[in-house]
Amino acid sequence: MSDPSVIEVTLCDLDAEALQAVTQVFDRYGRGGAVIEELFDECGEARTCVKTFVGSQETERLRHIEISLELLNRVRVMQQQPPIAPPRLRVLTETDWAEAWKAGYHPFRVGRRLVIKPSWEVYHPLPHERVIEIDPGMAFGSGLHATTRLCLTLLEEHLHRGDTVLDLGSGSGILAIAAARLGAAHVLALDIDPEAVRIARDNVQRNGLESMVLVHYGTIVPDGMLQCESPPAASSSHPSGPERWNIILANLLAATIIELASALARNLLPNGVLIASGMITEQSQEVSAALSAQGLEIVAQRSEDDWVALCARRPSKANLSDDL
């Protein structure tokens, strides 16, 4: 980083609707986007916090965040919702910043076989366990947030050995790495944040999965095309992979999933599944309707607190009236 220090911007104990709105603000204006974590206090009680980082000299970026939160509060007051408290600002040195996200992060199990561990912790797995070693840095996706856990659980249930997997908005790369650990033959992870791309590539290398997981700067657009390009600092070539996928992972925002519903459906192989999360309970019906309108069948729904994940299957070609 060019700045000698950074400012950590943190909000905690938000309701699900406020958390999603703040996440959008942080994704737009913060360095590396939003980081959503569940931290545990001394009594073992979980607290959900969302944070982002800005350079200590990036006053314009911080001002954008402050104005956006102020406007968000005006809307909430009009809707007779409690206002969001001012964010906590903390100045970190570069060393402090590099260590800040490690607090409260220890090995833990998700589903039946997956164990998530940071690189600085020692863990001795049981024979059936699949260990994912993650250093999330600033990128979303440490496994501590409900949406990540929900996606991991559905992925374990629906992935078959040899499947091809597309991970959109890959963040730290945790879902892509989990797919490879569970037996996927080829995984393409895409993110539009260069910092997330860098961290995900480091995590893929840390897990020794470079031959199976490709991480690139890019996304999918509404017409169904994958747009992939290397960020300025990268030298790797554009990814190549199958035209369609057995599994697509989309831990995004509800509005983004709805906008991309047609594109997601068209990029699935017959009998392929979309695992989508990042939505709250009130939004799940609208997302489900958007996916169903594209010919996808909702085959599973999982929830944790106010967060929801959906699993939608593309029917076999013989059952489709058209090829989407």
User: From the centroid of its chain, how far is CA 27?
Assistant: 11
Asked which of 71, 100, 129 is the last residue of a domain, the reply is 100
Distance CA 232, CA 108 (A): 36
pLDDT for residue 213: 96
Highest-pLDDT range among 30-44, 101-115, 213-227 = 213-227
Question: In terms of Cα–Cα distance, which of 144, 121, 167 is closest to 51?
Answer: 144
Whether residue 234 has pLDDT greater than 50:
no
- Digit-coded pLDDT (tens) for 44-64: 666 788 888 888 888 898 999
Cα angle 77, 251, 13; round to 5: 35
Distance CA 35, CA 52 (A): 6
SS3 203: helix
Residues 147 and 282 in one domain: yes
CA distances from 124 to 102, 133, 140, 195, 321 (A): 20, 12, 26, 30, 51
Residues 83 and 229 in one domain: no
Domain residues for the domain of 262 are 138-319
The answer to the question of residue 229 being in a domain is: yes
Quote the DSSP letter at residue 195: H
- Digit-coded pLDDT (tens) for 186-233: 999 999 888 788 889 999 999 999 999 999 999 998 888 888 865 444
pLDDT band at residue 323 using 50, 70 and 90 as cut-offs:
low
Query: Across the chain, what does the average pLDDT equal?
Result: 84
Residues 64 and 143 in one domain: no
Q: How many CA atoms lie within 13 A of 60 on its CB side?
A: 0
Residues 61 and 203 in one domain: no
The answer to the question of residue 127 being in a domain is: no
Taking each continuous run of H as one helix and of E as one strand, the counts in the chain are 9, 15
- Digit-coded pLDDT (tens) for 133-188: 987 555 455 556 788 889 999 999 999 999 999 999 998 899 999 999 999 999 99
Cα angle 292, 304, 98; round to 5: 110
Residues 78 and 201 in one domain: no
Query: In which element (H, E) is residue 276 found?
Result: strand 268-280
- Mean pLDDT of all residues in 110-116: 90
Residues 80 and 147 in one domain: no
pLDDT band at residue 303 using 50, 70 and 90 as cut-offs:
very high
Residues 290 and 144 in one domain: yes
The model's pTM: 0.75
Asked which of 46, 76, 100 is the last residue of a domain, the reply is 100
The runs of H, that is alpha helices, within the chain are 16-29, 59-78, 94-100, 146-158, 174-181, 194-206, 254-259, 261-266, 281-293
The answer to the question of residue 22 being in a domain is: yes
Whether residue 73 has pLDDT greater than 70:
yes
The answer to the question of residue 146 being in a domain is: yes
Residues 73 and 168 in one domain: no
Residues 254 and 185 in one domain: yes
| Total residues belonging to the chain | 324
Number of domains in the chain: 2
Residues 258 and 204 in one domain: yes
The answer to the question of residue 130 being in a domain is: no
Pick 236 or 282 by higher pLDDT. 282
**φ, ψ of residue 87 in degrees (nearest 5):** -70, 155
**φ, ψ of residue 249 in degrees (nearest 5):** -105, 125
Given the DSSP bridges, would you call strands 5-12 and 46-55 parallel, antiparallel or unpaired?
antiparallel
CATH, residue 285:
3.40.50.150
The answer to the question of residue 124 being in a domain is: no
CATH, residue 28:
3.30.70
Asked which of 100, 129, 154 is the last residue of a domain, the reply is 100
pLDDT band at residue 268 using 50, 70 and 90 as cut-offs:
very high
- 219 neighbors 190 (Cβ within 8 angstroms): yes
